[in-house]
A and B are shown apart, each in its own frame.
Chain A
Amino acid sequence: MSHPLIFEYSQSLAVLSGDDFQNEVSARLQAAIIDFQPVPSKPQGDAGIDGLSHHGERAYCCYGPEQDAFKTNRDRERAIIEKFREDLRRIFELDFEKKKLKHCPNSEIKTILPVGQKIKHIELIANWFESHRILSPLLTAKAEYAEASECRYVEKTVTIKIVGPNELANQYAVDEVTIARARQRVLIQRVQKKAEKVTLGSTEKFDKKMADLKEILRTKDDTVDLLRIELQTAWRKALAFEQELGDTLPVMHRELEANRSRILAKVSMVMVATTEPWTQLGNATNIASEVLRRDFDKLCGMLIDDVSTGEIARLIGECPVGWEKPTAHE
C-alpha cells in the first residue's frame, strides 16, 4: 500500500481527463524538473510534443481520455496505443501512404527543439496504465518508426517509456501544493460535469427578460439568443458548484449562501448609485469574484472566475437583477 498522499494523487491523475489532465501533468513536471518546458498547442500545433526537458533531449506526450469514453478496457488500450503511435509518427516525421510509412515533414518541430538537438528519450504519459498490453504495440511501433524515419529530430536509438498515474505519482515527491492543486482540478472537473446535467428550474421570468431584451434591441435577435445560452450555461455552473458544496462541504455551502447575499447587496448598491447602471453590471463579475475569493480561494481559486460569472447570471435568471422596456413617456 503506497503512502495515502501518493495514492490520492495517483487517483486524482486517473480521474482527470483532456486538458485538465495535461495541465496537471505539465504543472507536476514543471515543479519537479527545472528545465521542463511545456509546448503550447495553439496556434500552430504542438508537433506531437506536449513538453520538453533536459535541453531538448527528453520529450513528453500526454493523453487523458475521458473515463467513460470506452465500453471496455480493450477499447481504452486501443485508443491509447493509437494516440501515442500517432504522436510518435509525428516526431519521427512519418505517415501512412497506402499502408506504407512515408516521410512526412513536421515543419513545427524545428521551431520547438534547439538547433542540432535530437530527442533521446520520450515519455508517453496516460491517465490509465493498467494493462501491459499497450507496451508491446508501442515499443514495436517505436522500433519500426525509428527504422523507417530519416530521424532529423530524434535519435535512432531513442528510448520510450509509458507512464501512468501511479508511476507519475511515485516518480517525484507529492507535497501539499501538489495535492491542493490536484484536488482543485478534480473539483473543477466534477463541477463541469455536474453543470452539464443540471436542469434549470422555473425560467419563465428569465425568458420574459430575454424576450423584452429582443424587443428593446429589435435587430439583434441572434445575439440575444446566443447570449441567453451563455447566461444559462454560466447559471448552470453556479448551481453545479452550489450542489457540489452542498453534497461534500455543507459548511462551505453556508458560506456561499451568505456570499450570494453580499454579492447582490454590492451589485445593487453600485447599480442604484450610478447614472450608468449597465456599466456597473459589466463590473458585477469582478464584484462577485472579489467577494467569493475571500472564502473560496484556497478551495477552488481556479474556478472562481467561472462561478462569479455564473452567480451574476443566476441573479439575472432568478430575478433580483433585471430590466424592463422603457415606459411610454420616455
Chain B
Amino acid sequence: MTNEISKKILIVDDEAHIRLLLQQTLEDLEYEGVEILSADNGTDALKTVQDQEPELIFLDVMMPNIDGYNVCRMIRQDLKMKDVFIVILTAKGQEYDRRLSEESGANTFMTKPFDPDEVLELAKKVLNV
C-alpha cells in the first residue's frame, strides 16, 4: 500500500453477482492501492461519486429508479465531473445502445458477460497502474 491518495473504482450494478465478479476481477489493483467501491442503485451511485470522486466507474444500464444512462448524464452535467472515466456495462450490445451510451457521456461501452481480462486491462490503463 502506498501513502499516496488512493485511486478509486466504483462498480454500480443492481445485481450482486455482477458486483462480486467485477470486484474479484479488479482485486489485483487493490495491491496497487486502488480502492474498490460499489453501489447497487443509481441514487447511491451518485452519492458515492460525489463523496468519493472515483477515477473510474463501471456502470450498469438497467437499474431500478435511475438507469445507467441517466446516472451518467447526471455525473457529467449535474456533478460537473468531466474527468471520471465511465464504462457502460450492459447486456445489450446493439448499435442503438452504443449510441445512447455515447450520448449519455460515457467513455466506452462493454457488454455482459464481460471479458475479465479486458476489464482489468482497461482499469489499469485508465488508472495508470
**A, B from the same assembly:** no
Using a CB–CB distance below 8 Å, which chain B residues touch chain A? none
